[in-house]
Chain A
Amino acid sequence: MENTILEIKNVTKAIKRKKILKNISIKIPKGEIYGLIGPNGAGKTTLMRMITGLSSITSGDIFIKEKSISTERKRALLTLGTIIEGPDMYPFFSGKENLFHFARMYPNISKKRIEEVIEIVGLTNSINKKVKNYSLGMKQRLGIAQSILHNPSLLILDEPTNGLDPAGIKEMRDYLKKIALQNNTSILISSHLLSEMELICDRIGIIKHGEMVSEHNLSEMELIKDSSKNKVTIEIQQIDEAKQILNEYNYTIDNNLLIFHINKEEVPNLIHLLTVNNVKIYEVAYTKSTLEERFFEWTGGNTID
C-alpha cells in the first residue's frame, strides 16, 4: 500500500528483559494526523524513539514510506522530521544559526525556505538571539521549525505543545492541520492535552503499559454513533411528578437536575413529554462527551500502574 507513510509492524521493545512495548502495530496513511495518548510511562516516547532510529527495535520493524528504519536507515530518515523529548538546541548558537546547522544536513534547503519557516513559527523577532536566552515556548517553536525545514512527509512530535502559550498552541494546531491537508504530511503526535488532541487528530491510539489498548476515529460520523455517551441535563422543580412520567427513560437525579444519556434526536420528545404534563423546565443543557471523559473510560482510570 503506497498510501501508507508510516507502518509500525508488531514492534516490541525490551530493555534489560523488561518489555516496555508489546506488539504495537500502527498504520498511518498520507495526510493523517494520528494522536498517541496514554498515561505517564505508557511507552509513547519509547515508540517514537524507535521510529526515529534513536532506539533499536527488539522485534518487529518500522517502515517509513516502505523504507525500513533498521535496514534502510538513511533513506527512511530523509523524509522524517521530529521533536522528541523536549526542544533541546545549541545554546551558544542563535536561533537562526541552529536552523542553518540542521539545514546543512539535508540536500538543497534554500535560505528562502529557512526564512519561511521562521515566519511560520513566529520567531522573526527573536531569531538572532542566542538560544540560551530563549524561553521554553520559544525553544519549542524553534524545535518545530527544525522539524519542518526539509518538508518531511512524516512528522513525529513528542509533546510539541509543552510550554507553548495559548496563541502558540492555536497557531501550531492550524499549521499542522494545514500541512496535513495541503502537503499531505502525515503526523504522529503525542500529548497529554486531550482537548487539544481532540481538535487536531483524525485518529487516536491509546497506549497503556506498553500495549495498544484501542484505536478510535475522531471524525464526525464516529462521534455521532457514540452519542449515547453524551449528556442531557434538565433542571426542574417537580422531581416527584417527573419520576412518574419518565419511567421509560434511564436517568439519574442530582438535586433538581435530571441527567440523561440519550441521542440529540430524542431531546425534543423528552421536553414535550415533560411540558404536556405541566412539569416546568428551567434549563436544558446538552454536552457532548469530551475526549477526556472517554479517555478515562478507555484506559480505565487515571492511575499509572
Chain B
Amino acid sequence: MIKNLFNLVLNEMLKIYKRKSTWMMYLFLVVFIAGGAILAINTQSSYSENWKVELEEENKTLVQEIEEFSGMPGMQTIRDVNQESIMTNQFYLENDMKPMNYGAWQFVLDNADMLIIVSLFSIIIGATIISDEYKWGTIKLLMVRPYSRSTILAVKYLAILIFTFFTLLFMQLASFITGAFLLGIEGINPEIVAFRNGDVGQLNAIKMIISNYSYNLIPLIMMATLAFTISTIFKNSTIAISLAIVLMLSGNMIVTFFADQSFTKYLLFAHTDLQQYQNNSMLLEDTSLSFSITILIIYYVIFLISSFIVFNRKDIIVNE
C-alpha cells in the first residue's frame, strides 16, 4: 500500500522532472540568483578601520533624504527603509560593533523575497499537472488503473507540494553557494543585526532564514492550490495560471483599496501575510493572528474539497 503510493508519487515527480520546461525554470532561477549576487557586490557597503565615522556620515545622508522626501506620500517606503537603516547603524555604534560585510547568509535571507518566482513555478506546475494529462490524452490511461480518482488527485497535489519544497531547497542552496563564491561567508552560524518589531537586535541568521521563508511559503502554497483547483475544475491551465498570478500580484492592492469595507476581512489576501502580526504592520485593523489562520484554513479546505468533488464527478473526456 505504502509502496504503491510511493510509486504513484514517483511517477508524478518523474513526469515533472523529465521535462525540459522544468529545467528551464531552474536555469532561470540560477540566472536570477547570480544576477542578484552580482548586484549585491556592486552595492554592498564595506567599511574600513574608520567605520564609525563612515556610519555617521551614512546616517547624515539618510536623514537628509528623509527630510527631502517628507510630505511626499509616494515616498513613504523609502523613508521607512531609511529609518530602519539609521536605527541599524546606530545599533552598531552603540554596541561598538563593526558591521559585517554583506555575505552568503544575508544573501539567502534577502532572497526570501524572491519566493515570488518560486510561487510562479508552483502555480504553473499546479495548473498544468492535471490539464497536461488531458492535453496528452494520457488521463484515460491514468484513470483506468486500480486506484480511486481521489487517490490519483491527492497524489498529484502532493507532487505539487514536493516540487515546491525541492524548488525552495534548490533556491536556498543556489543562493548560498552563489553568495559564498561571490560575497563570502561569515561563519557557520552567524548572528545578523536586523530590524524587527520596530526595534533593532542581533538575531541568529539560520533562524531568521527559516522564519522568513516559512512566512512567504503561506501565500505560495495558497496560490499553487488555487491554480490546481481552477485547472481541475475547468481543465484549462491558461485560465488557472493567469487568474492565480493576477490575484497574487494584486491581492494586497485589492485589500488596501477595499480596506474600509466590511467584507474585506474575509478576503484571502488580507491574511496570506502572517508576518504582519510579527512586524505590527497590519493591513486591516480588526483582525488577529488566530482569525487569519482560521480564514486561511477555510479557503484552503474549500479549494481542495471543490477540486476533489469535481474530479470525482465528471466523465473523463479527452477531446472536449
Contact = CB atoms under 8 A, between A and B. Distances in A.
Interface string A17-55: 000000000000000000000000000000001001111
29 contacts: A53-B143, A53-B144, A54-B315, A54-B316, A55-B315, A74-B147, A74-B148, A77-B145, A78-B146, A80-B144, A84-B140, A85-B140, A86-B137, A88-B136, A88-B140, A89-B138, A90-B138, A92-B19, A93-B18, A97-B14, A101-B11, A101-B15, A102-B145, A104-B8, A104-B11, A105-B4, A105-B11, A105-B145, A106-B145
From A55, A88, A89, residue with most partner B Cβ within 10 Å: A88
A301 interface: no
Interface in A62-89: 73-75, 77-78, 80, 82, 84-86, 88-89
B140 A90 contact: no
B209 to A, nearest CB: 35
B183 to A, nearest CB: 37
Interface string A186-211: 00000000000000000000000000
A252 B148 CA distance: 62
Contacts of B147: 74, 105
A268 interface: no
B316 A55 contact: yes
A80 B316 CA distance: 17
A209 to B, nearest CB: 20
Q: How large is the interface on B (under 10, 10 to 19, 20 to 34, 35 or more residues)?
A: 20 to 34
B318 interface: yes
A104 B7 contact: yes
A49 B315 CA distance: 9
B192 to A, nearest CB: 43
Given A77-B146, A92-B19, A107 B4 contact: yes
B249 to A, nearest CB: 30
Interface of A: 49, 52-56, 73-75, 77-78, 80, 82, 84-86, 88-93, 97, 101-102, 104-107, 146
A74 B140 contact: no
B24 interface: no
Contact of A85 (B8, B137, B145): B137
Contacts of B19: 92
B72 interface: no
Given A55-B316, A84-B140, 13 more contacts: A75-B146, A82-B144, A85-B137, A85-B319, A88-B318, A91-B136, A92-B18, A92-B20, A93-B15, A93-B18, A105-B145, A106-B146, A146-B141
From A82, A104, A106, residue with most partner B Cβ within 10 Å: A104
A91 B132 CA distance: 11
Nearest to A76: B146
Given A49-B315, A54-B315, A85-B137, A101 B144 contact: no
Contacts of A85: 137, 140, 318-319
B162 interface: no
Nearest to A55: B315
B10 interface: yes
A162 B315 CA distance: 24
Contacts of B14: 93, 97, 101
From B14, B146, B316, B319, residue with most partner A Cβ within 10 Å: B146
A219 B137 CA distance: 37
B7 A105 contact: yes
A105 B18 CA distance: 18
A101 B318 CA distance: 20
Contacts of B138: 88-90
Contacts of A106: 145-146
B60 to A, nearest CB: 59
Contact of B140 (A54, A78, A92, A97): A54
Nearest 7 pairs of A and B residues by beta carbon: A88-B137, A104-B7, A78-B146, A105-B145, A55-B315, A54-B316, A77-B146
A56 B146 contact: no
Given A54-B144, A54-B316, A77-B145, A104 B137 contact: no
A77 B315 CA distance: 16
Contacts of B7: 104-105
From A75, A80, A86, A101, residue with most partner B Cβ within 10 Å: A101
Nearest to A156: B144
A75 B147 CA distance: 9
A77 B215 CA distance: 43
A236 to B, nearest CB: 56
Contact of A73 (B141, B148, B316): B148
A52 B18 contact: no
A105 B8 contact: yes
B141 A77 contact: no
